[in-house]
Structure 1
């Protein structure tokens, strides 16, 4: 509903599978089995992945509404939102490090959750910064070239 476009919503939600992949890979690397707390971590991770995608896509659309060319809007949007996306990922990851390294009482619940979130945020951040702009270009590229062809610079055919 935010984007008023199923295509844009799909682009944002495309971040979830890569985030989940990073969470699964982190569990495998640490040798931690899937558990209820890991499942809760996947839920939290999905929210962060979608939030980062919304931040990126909203800014790109804002630049497009100002009249920027598609490629310029994508490039500037990705570079301008680089810091907020990295800060979100860094804060969330660093906040979970003590839980991931805990060996005391209750660590069997905390470690899977923190491991999933840290691994997933790393892979999700890569998606948000690299793959999401590329997907936006693929999805909106044809429409942008059609709009450019219909613009005032297009030759007029008179009958």
Structure 2
């Protein structure tokens, strides 16, 4: 006779799961022997083909990439994940002896943080290059483009100071806030430098154009800064769901706008006069 395949599905109660003797007496159907002409199934006890014992063990065996995996979860509060992982890795290296063939990897939010950080290392330089390229195309002048571009470090200084004052760690949402902040900072400088250039084209001297341009553009620059900063105040004070993402972003934008506005109004006119003083002397 040809080979036959028999499948048996046994549903066990919780009581029977811990009864070793009862499990040992379970009957398993086996194919009929060649001498058995009736063709009926035979049965043997489970203890005849297996040894049963009750021991402690995992309720499941997880695998990833063909390798066994054990997951240890933890919640981090009151500090950033990056410094926690660094401290935990140092503690494991000094206090835990990992057997041969075992290794540890960090996943979850830390893995996402690492991937986002790698992307930001590409996105931030590309965004800054695009901003500078657009400034150069608008002014058709490298000098004026660099002057407006100085608003970005002015803004970054205020954003970092705001994070430090609120004791908020640098995170991915804060990095996104720095990118958004760069656009607002450039806009303030762009408004002022463009107006000063127009005054000079009308025939005014360098000092007069700078003085009149700074006073005339004071209100638009302050209005732009106030609208942007006041709009982020609810996010900066958020305490509900998603506050851990909203607060760093809003804090960076508010602090950066304040420093960028002050430095744009006070420092940028002086930088413009210093950069174009030779042009005035040559004229």
Which residue of 2 is the match for residue 52 of structure 1? 188
Alignment partner of 1:111 is 2:270: no
Q: CA RMSD in A?
A: 0.5
1:102-147, CA deviations, whole angstroms, 9 ceiling, x for partnerless residues? Answer: 1111100000000000000000001210111100000001111210
Offset, 1:89: 0.4
Alignment partner of 1:77 is 2:213: yes
Q: 2:182, 2:242 → 1: CA distance? A: 24
SS of 1:24's equivalent in the other structure is: helix
Unaligned runs of 5+ in 1: 148-159
Q: 2:162, 2:212 → 1: CA distance? A: 32
Which residue of 1 is the match for residue 231 of structure 2? 95
Which residue of 2 is the match for residue 154 of structure 1? none
Structure number, greater radius of gyration: 2
Alignment partner of 1:15 is 2:151: yes
Which residue of 2 is the match for residue 128 of structure 1? 264
Which residue of 1 is the match for residue 3 of structure 2? none
Q: Aligned pair count?
A: 147
Unaligned runs of 5+ in 2: 1-136
Q: 1:35, 1:115 → 2: CA distance? A: 12
Question: What is the TM-score when the length of structure 2 is the normalising length?
Answer: 0.52
SS of 2:165's equivalent in the other structure is: helix
Larger RCO (CA within 8 A; separation ≥ 6): 1
Out of 112, 131, 139, the position equivalent to 1:3 is 139
Q: 1:144, 1:134 → 2: CA distance? A: 14
Offset, 1:42: 0.1
- The runs of at least 4 aligned residues of structure 1 exceeding 2 Å deviation read none
Which residue of 1 is the match for residue 178 of structure 2? 42
SS of 1:104's equivalent in the other structure is: coil
Alignment partner of 1:145 is 2:281: yes
Greater strand proportion = 2
Greater helix proportion = 1
